[in-house]
Amino acid sequence: MDEAQKVVRHFKSAKLQLSFLREFQQARYHTHYALCLSTATRWGSQYSVPYSLVRSEDALTDYCMDPRVRKAAKDERKKDTLTIINILGRPGFWVDVRRLRSILEPIYIKQKISEGEDAHLGKVIARWDRILTRWDEITEADTELKGLVDELKPQFRTRLGQQTNELHLLAYALDPQTRRERLNTDIMQKVLNQMRNYIPADDYLKAIHAFEQYRRKEGRFSEGIFESWSEENIADPSVFWDLAEDIDPALTQLAKRLFYAIANSCASERSFSAVNLLQDDHRARLSPAKADMLTSILMNSKVFDRVERGANQRKSWHTLTEREELKLENETIQLLGHEPDEGVESLRQQDSQQGEQQEEASQDGGNTPEIFRYIGGGDRETQAYIDTQSQ
């Protein structure tokens, strides 16, 4: 990372060298690409460093071979240029940059998703789990990364403990999209403790019974009785629990409190950015009251626009389920005038079979997310909820 930063910083400070690089970018890509510096106070900038370098790899290679650059590197007053050429020409530099990008990319993606307006507390643990799962996939494909990832995991666990608590576990357990995941004994005990803290004592045992039925999709939560297990409803937990209010008001009220809570500070940060745009040097005499009203109009107009769009609002790519991705791919193929690909149909069938298998497995608790090993509880088998309560 230090070498990558040094390369980017060199072009930020050496305008002539930057002009050479832009010549090669224009020749290679017919456009200019920025090189991004890492800034501690800006999310995602750490990932942007290796990403921006790899994006301009060919242009940077051409830059190192240019006679003008070679000539400048021989000048004692321009030792930095020679240092940069040596870094870019070091065997393995680009391999290291790509590996760095592959490690930072899952974190960057989940950070961007966490800033979304549809973020809720139930997705926090799932995002951490996805980062860990992606790292394991990367190390399987590139075994030389295993040592580096193993070094990062203790820091990962420390950060996880600082940024999550038992309320996030409770929200995870009440998220319909994670119902099939197995909760081991220690995690389940933490969930039950949080339920005890926020549900009146008179309603606690009844709420636990309803929670058990919800996780197993039995009783009043079975598909034959509760008709809200559609993909659309479970994608929004607040809608799902609104529809389940008659089953157990105490449990439903707790779930709604969790999923209606604001999960990030992005809305307020966007408001501050809007103020900066509204009150600049050309509008220095704008009073605070008027600036506040203009900001309120701007931010609320965006909300009203989303309400008006309603069901026609387009989904972001990262919110699509696997089935929706397969359906989109198949529809795209048909729009291009081709027959549905056999591979897509095969994947659709496999997806359907996998869903049925997961549904059957969920009766026994499903799979245990690996993230729970970092929260606590190991890999022990899940016990029945009533048994856990009796202990």
What confidence tier does 53 reach under pLDDT thresholds 50, 70, 90?
Answer: confident
Phi, psi for residue 226 in degrees, rounded to 5: -95, 110
Rounded to whole angstroms, how far apart are CA atoms 183 and 377? Answer: 9
Max Cα-Cα span within the chain:
83
Higher per-residue confidence, 23 vs 223: 23
Chain mean pLDDT for the chain = 77
What confidence tier does 373 reach under pLDDT thresholds 50, 70, 90?
Answer: low
Q: According to the model, what pLDDT value does residue 378 have?
A: 38
Q: According to the model, what pLDDT value does residue 350 have?
A: 54
Degrees, nearest 5: CA angle 209-214-215: 100
Q: How do residues 77-111 score in pLDDT, each as one tens digit?
A: 667 777 878 888 888 888 888 888 888 888 888 88
* Token output for 171: 């929200």
Please report how the helices 2-13 and 79-89 are oriented relative to each other, as an axis angle in degrees rounded to 10. 140
What confidence tier does 225 reach under pLDDT thresholds 50, 70, 90?
Answer: low
Q: According to the model, what pLDDT value does residue 390 have?
A: 42
What confidence tier does 311 reach under pLDDT thresholds 50, 70, 90?
Answer: very low
Q: What is the pTM of this model?
A: 0.68
> Average of pLDDT values for 267-281?
79
Q: According to the model, what pLDDT value does residue 316 have?
A: 57
Contact 240, 230 (CB under 8 A): no
> Average of pLDDT values for 41-53?
80
Domain boundaries in the chain? 2-101, 266-308, 321-362
> Average of pLDDT values for 349-377?
56
Q: Range with the lowest mean pLDDT among 151-160, 229-238, 312-321?
A: 312-321
Phi, psi for residue 113 in degrees, rounded to 5: -65, -40
Q: Range with the lowest mean pLDDT among 1-5, 107-111, 134-138, 322-326?
A: 322-326
Q: According to the model, what pLDDT value does residue 73 have?
A: 66
Q: According to the model, what pLDDT value does residue 387 have?
A: 43
CA 113 to mean position of chain CA atoms: 4
> Average of pLDDT values for 164-168?
87
